Structure 1
Amino acid sequence: MSVPFSGTEHANQHSRVSSHKKPGFLERLSETAGGMVVGIAVFAFSFYVLFTNEGRAIRTAASLDEGLSQVVSVHPSSGVDFQNNGRLIHISGPLRTSQPIYDPNYNIAVQAVKLRREVEMYQWVEHQESRDYEENGETKTETTYTYSE
């Protein structure tokens, strides 16, 4: 159970109080047995996932081999050949733009193709203080979080 702290309100700080009942012997034993059953089930399920993935890998390899056997290499200087319409073709050549691209951050102009990426990042540091205490037979933890840029 978590209860928000109702003390002094700060925009960059909040507190949380959590209470945990001490588990008895049978509760700990049932959690252990439940975890063991779940672990065995996940282990058995992993074999199904492994064989399914291997089957997909085999189908993908066969599909790529089929594509490789049907590919037609085309020279970039040759014109458009309508005989290759609907076929898998391979072409290799230089990639150029009609105008140079200018990057104002680095003052560079190049005759090339470029990927433009804008990244924004917001960063803060979280400080955490915890205090454990007992109340009414329960162990309670009060955690205070403070944030700074």
Structure 2
Amino acid sequence: MLKVYLSGEIHTDWRERIIAGAQGLDVSFDSPVTDHAASDDCGVAILGAEPDKFWHDRKGAQINAIRTRKGIADADVVVVRFGDQYKQWNAAFDAGYAAALGKSLIILHGPDHAHALKEVDAAALAVTQEPEQVVQILRYVLTGALPG
């Protein structure tokens, strides 16, 4: 079984497209919590309120980091998606962490990010523009089959 961690932006359906396209392949998927409010507020919901937004966000980031570190460490392949709408600093951090652990890294972004992400792309084993290309890579890795 190939374990794939899906990191990055949470505002589009790219994860669902990869998971649906990989049906029938011997692959399991994990990801960060993609419910934005839950992700932002997990720290204060579990550890108590914070009047200062900095500490509110920090509690959430640290709890989320437990899940993210475990998911990346357990993964065979880490896919990191950079979307168009927001600057995903967390995605860049996840890509760097995965690269430092020697994980097979697939980056997913549009052509507008090619220059800004050149160092991240250089650390990847593949750079894709569409979720379906990620599925094709997974299929090839697991079966040796090229796209039909």
Under TM normalisation by the shorter chain, which class is it? under 0.3
> Under a length normalisation based on structure 1, what TM-score does the superposition of the two structures give?
0.18
TM, length-normalised to structure 2: 0.18
Larger radius of gyration: 1
Q: Which one has the bigger strand percentage?
A: 1
Which protein has the bigger helix share? 2
